[in-house]
Amino acid sequence: MKMYKIIIKGLLVVMLAGCNPLDKSNLESLNGEDVWTNPKVAEAYVNDLYALFMPGNFAVGRITDETMVVNGEYAESLSSYLNGTMTSDTYNDFPYENIRKINIFLAQIDQALFEENIKKSLKGQALFWRAWAYFRMVKAYGGVELILSPASPDDSESIFVPRSKTSDCITQILKDINDAIPLLEPLSNEGRIDKAVAMSFKGRVLLYWASPQFNRSNEVARWNAAYEANKEAVEYLDAHGKGLYENYKELWTDEMNKEVIMVKRFQYPGFANGYSQACMRPLLYARGCVGANIPSLELVNAYPMKDGSKYDPSTMDYRTLFQNRDERFYASIAYNGAVPFLAEMFGKENMWTYFYDADGDPSTGINGKEARADNSENLYSHSGFYPAKMLDRTITRTTVEDGQVDWIEIRYAEVLMNMAEAANEIGNTPEALDVLYRIRDRAGIEPGGNGKYGITAASVPDVRKAIMDERLVEFAFEGQRFWDLRRWRIYAATFNAFKDKYFHGLRFEWNGTAANRPTGLTDINTIANQFTVTENQDYRQIVVQEEDKYSFFGIPKSVLDRNSKIEQNNTWGGSFNPLE
């Protein structure tokens, strides 16, 4: 499968009249006079931090219950998290080299000779990115080495230090965020870190800190702190015109809409290079790259009905699974017969993923050799579905590497649901339910006679489960599910509950002749009963390890080898307790 490098745009190039002081081989060399007298140079240095830390990955790895493998060629592609082979080397993310760049900047920015407001803004952004970098590690491993000054790489006493307690790391992360908030501009229209971003991120950090991953004794004080931080963020966002965007389907394509909080902006060719959306499309439209974000049947089944009730495959017909679902289903899942959702499909072709008797010989039946999935010959979707969410619908087969959809890392719905989750845990369940009602109302779900949008949960545990279920469909393919499962400590339990320990999909077979098979814009509603639909399973059975292995990853051997003062986590054979 192809892999493409995603490059940030718009933030890295600053053009200056005359001589260009940014023409340097190493922006870490901050002793030059032009760096501290020319704000454009300092700005360029901070811009580089965006390139180093801003997330922007549209492809979700096969590490959650959202996606499954594509076909037999990739039968071995279950990740090590799900095939029982995860080791302490599986997850390796220690961005200390880039943290050092932040520390260098923070150590000297106060002495810069340009305007105070510019200094404050740049300092606030750098503080945010340091908090971001440390939280990235802490949510994976627990406490890590806290290095807050720009020590020389040769100064072993300064850089080879023991791991700090997890609680100390969280304290430092929150300090950096709190120090950053008053320095940042209220709201940015250019995708920069602003006060709204920092306050929202603070709420995310405190939610994790309160969650079972870190909070085994369920300390209410942590949930209270998470609630207050997220509530404060929501109130700030509301006061500055942020909110739920009315059209969920266009949330990702209507740029910088009111729901966008933290965003990595892409534009082709205006800023830098495009990025590829090829792998998230059927082969016919993909320029040879397939298999990213293939929805599992488990995800498809998770989307509620339009009346808010659960989809129940034991009593409902898979042939009409697309009928009367909530709007997020149609915005996210491309199913057999779905309306055109790609540029070359517009006005031409529905999304067909069925098999048919291609050779016209009844004795051979419909099988993997004679059958073909629509006119693309091979669609490469073992699940029978493709993703429709977050796609740039304007690019064609020849321009799939020039995507322009912005990556939204934090949006208003997340902050709202973070607040709801914390509210429920401190006993403010009615407020949590109100948030769920708002989320479902935006999804086009009917309120029903009781105004509860199909939600029957009332107790704290039941509402907790309702929030978990809602986050799966609301944030599908947005990179949150993997971390949610870990912080709730249900990663292993989720996959152990899969039927027969397999991911599942559907196979759609046309019962008519090849000559009268549906093509083009045939309405699937009129012919759904002419298909046979069977449930299939993935090529490889899921094998998960004990929950503790997922809650905190092991420290890789390469990290242990370069610093003898680092202890391994106690769930991976060491003595470090990540819960302290």
Global pTM exceeds 0.85? yes
Stretch 435-452: mean pLDDT, rounded? 98
Cα dist from 510 to 262, 320, 355, 366, whole Å: 45, 14, 6, 9
- Tell me which residue of 506, 514, 521 sits closest to 356, measured CA to CA: 514
State the Cα–Cα distance between residues 148 and 287, nearest whole angstrom: 46
Residue 509's SS3 state is: strand
Residue 36 has pLDDT above 90, yes or no: no
Q: How far apart are CA 491 and CA 157, in angstroms?
A: 38
User: Token digits for 576?
Assistant: 């470090």
Q: Report pLDDT digits (tens) over 394-415.
A: 888 888 888 889 999 999 999 9
Residue 45's nearest CA partner among 111, 116, 123 is 123
Mean per-residue pLDDT of the chain: 89
Give me the DSSP letters along 390-428: T--TT--GGGTT-B-PPEEEEEHHHHHHHHHHHHHHTT-
551 has a pLDDT exceeding 60: yes
Would you place residue 284 in the very low, low, confident or very high pLDDT band (cuts 50, 70, 90)?
Answer: confident
Query: Please, which pLDDT band fits residue 18 given cuts at 50, 70 and 90?
Result: very low
Largest CA distance in the chain: 84
Query: Which helix (H) or strand (E) element contains residue 334?
Result: strand 333-334
Pairing assessment for the beta strands 407-411 and 504-510 based on DSSP bridges: unpaired
Statement: residue 559 has pLDDT above 50: yes
Q: What is the pLDDT of residues 313-359, one digit of tens each?
A: 999 999 999 999 999 999 999 999 999 988 888 888 898 888 888 77
In this structure, which long-range contacts are made by residues 164-167, counting pairs with CB atoms below 8 Å and at least 24 apart in sequence?
A: 165/580, 166/138, 166/142, 166/214, 166/578, 166/579, 166/580, 167/143, 167/580
* Average pLDDT, integer, range 244-271: 90
pLDDT of residue 397: 85
Cite the beta strand spans of 481-530 per DSSP E.
504-510
Q: Which of these ranges, 190-194, 273-277, 370-374, has the smallest mean pLDDT?
A: 370-374
Give the tens place of pLDDT for each residue, 54-89: 998 888 888 999 998 766 555 557 889 999 999 999
What one-character-per-residue DSSP string does 450-490 give? TTSTT----SHHHHHHHHHHHHHHHTTTTT-HHHHHHHTT-
